[in-house]
């Protein structure tokens, strides 16, 4: 089924856009944080370690959100958990606008991160289970492409709103997705394959054991390595992009402008990955895009001129976000329905640990006067480790039907 024919199926189109908009709001929230911390560093006189902790605390919340939401979604349903995680992150983001101090803001960002971390793996599982095998990977990558839309929206808000009206307004805008949950409540339903599992639903301990059972152990190890390296590098690099540009001598406003240009490159990265993933397979897309992300990271870390920085940043956005799309498409296909959301949530949760370490480590390294080129060399090596895990431990799932029960392949 082509992308066009996929979009002509009314139910699938509605599901993709409904879940995609919730994904867009997630990205808008995460993206705005990268710009807000650059502004707060100036307004509140935060040192690099404090900036790193503020960005990391969001990912700490995502660690717990991904783990618990994944487990709850296999128990109570994908739809219900998706709605609650959307509400949690929206309300916490709106309250962040009222934060009068660093500690209060960190607490609210933890809560927002819990909702964000829970929503993403549940949404990808929901879409993966609702689309035929022939177009399943493409549909999930297209779902992921809404993330780029959210980052572009966050960059526009940050470029036009934050310098003029302050960071509080940006957080207030981030509360609006809570209203979308009212629509989402009626727009989506749990997939039929999940409904069929109701009479034989497993306990949490059974699902946990299933994820690490012999048929799935190799897959779980591969996914945990992949998610950790991708999330570590993504949040370590992208949450610091405005600050890194500022560190390289560009004004804060000019840094926002350059990052907006780089962010736009995420969209063709997703679309090319969506095109290729059903033609050449998940493994090829993931490995190729990850290797080219690593090369782009080295280039960005050593670039000095504005033109070179923008070109490297565009390549970094293009290939890194294409890899994200492939990863989200690939992960739900590797587990049976009875443990799928738990397996995806656990892999995402472990990955979010990398999202905690990455931004904080960058702040510590910058505070210790370690050069940007050395920081991006670290990301180069990390990303290659993730690509190697897929190459040697991963299996191809292109065109395969999703399994229902534990022990089935």
Candidates 300, 274, 297, 298; CA nearest to 285 is: 274
Residues 6+ apart with CB under 8 A from 350: 224, 227, 228
Confidence of residue 277 (pLDDT cuts 50, 70, 90): very high
As a whole number of angstroms, the distance between CA 23 and CA 25 comes to 5
As a whole number of angstroms, the distance between CA 151 and CA 89 comes to 16
Q: How is residue 185 written in tokens?
A: 């409540």
Candidates 133, 190, 199, 82; CA nearest to 332 is: 133
Does residue 30 form part of some domain? Answer: yes
Does residue 409 form part of some domain? Answer: no
Q: How do residues 344-385 score in pLDDT, each as one tens digit?
A: 999 999 998 998 898 888 888 988 889 889 999 999 999 999
Domain count, the chain: 1
Count of CB atoms situated within 10 Å of the CB of 254? 14
As a whole number of angstroms, the distance between CA 283 and CA 267 comes to 20
Does residue 231 form part of some domain? Answer: yes
As a whole number of angstroms, the distance between CA 333 and CA 135 comes to 12
Residues of the domain holding 124? 3-186+206-393
Tell the residue number behind the tokens 């000019």, with chain if given.
254
Q: How is residue 77 written in tokens?
A: 């349903």
Q: How do residues 129-180 score in pLDDT, each as one tens digit?
A: 888 888 888 898 888 889 888 888 887 887 788 888 888 998 999 888 888 8
As a whole number of angstroms, the distance between CA 295 and CA 263 comes to 18
Candidates 382, 380, 390; CA nearest to 329 is: 390
Does residue 196 form part of some domain? Answer: no
CATH code of 372's domain: 1.20.1250.20
| pLDDT over 50 (residue 2) | no
Does residue 405 form part of some domain? Answer: no
Q: What pLDDT is attached to residue 3?
A: 45
Q: How is residue 388 written in tokens?
A: 């190697």
Q: What is the pTM of this model?
A: 0.83
Does residue 360 form part of some domain? Answer: yes
Does residue 68 form part of some domain? Answer: yes
Does residue 53 form part of some domain? Answer: yes
């Amino acid at each position: 089924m082509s992308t066009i024919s996929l979009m002509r199926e009314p139910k699938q189109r509605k599901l993709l856009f409904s879940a995609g908009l919730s994904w867009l709001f997630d990205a808008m929230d995460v993206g705005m944080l990268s710009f807000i911390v650059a502004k707060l560093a100036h307004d509140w006189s935060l040192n690099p370690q404090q900036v790193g902790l503020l960005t990391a605390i969001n990912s700490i919340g995502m660690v717990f959100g991904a783990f618990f939401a994944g487990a709850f979604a296999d128990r109570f349903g994908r739809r219900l958990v998706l709605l609650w995680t959307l509400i949690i992150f929206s309300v916490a983001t709106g309250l962040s606008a009222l934060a009068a101090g660093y500690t209060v803001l960190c607490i609210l960002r933890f809560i927002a991160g819990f909702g964000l971390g829970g929503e993403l793996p549940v949404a990808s599982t929901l879409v993966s289970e609702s689309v035929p095998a022939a177009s399943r990977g493409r549909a999930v990558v297209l779902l992921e492409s809404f993330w780029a839309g959210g980052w572009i929206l966050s960059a526009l808000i940050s470029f036009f709103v934050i310098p003029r009206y302050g960071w509080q307004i940006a957080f207030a805008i981030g509360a609006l997705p809570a209203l979308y949950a009212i629509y989402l409540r009626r727009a989506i339903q749990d997939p039929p394959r999940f409904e069929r599992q109701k009479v034989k639903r497993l306990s949490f301990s059974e699902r946990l054991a299933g994820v690490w059972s012999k048929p799935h152990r190799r897959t779980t190890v591969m996914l945990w390595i992949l998610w950790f390296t991708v999330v570590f590098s993504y949040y370590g690099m992208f949450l610091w992009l405005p600050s890194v540009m500022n560190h390289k001598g560009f004004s804060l406003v000019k840094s926002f402008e350059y990052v907006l240009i780089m962010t736009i490159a995420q969209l063709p990265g997703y679309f090319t990955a969506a095109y290729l993933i059903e033609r050449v397979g998940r493994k090829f897309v993931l490995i190729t895009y990850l290797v080219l992300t690593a090369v782009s990271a080295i280039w960005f870390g050593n670039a000095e001129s504005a033109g070179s920085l923008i070109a490297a940043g565009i390549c970094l956005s293009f290939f890194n976000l294409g890899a994200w799309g492939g990863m989200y498409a690939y992960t739900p296909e590797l587990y049976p329905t009875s443990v799928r959301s738990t397996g995806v949530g656990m892999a995402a949760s472990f990955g979010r640990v990398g999202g905690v370490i990455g931004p904080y480590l960058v702040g510590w390294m910058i505070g210790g006067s370690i050069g940007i080129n050395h920081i991006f060399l670290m990301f180069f090596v990390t990303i290659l480790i993730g690509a190697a895990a897929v190459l040697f431990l991963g299996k191809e799932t292109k065109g395969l039907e999703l399994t229902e029960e534990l022990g089935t392949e």
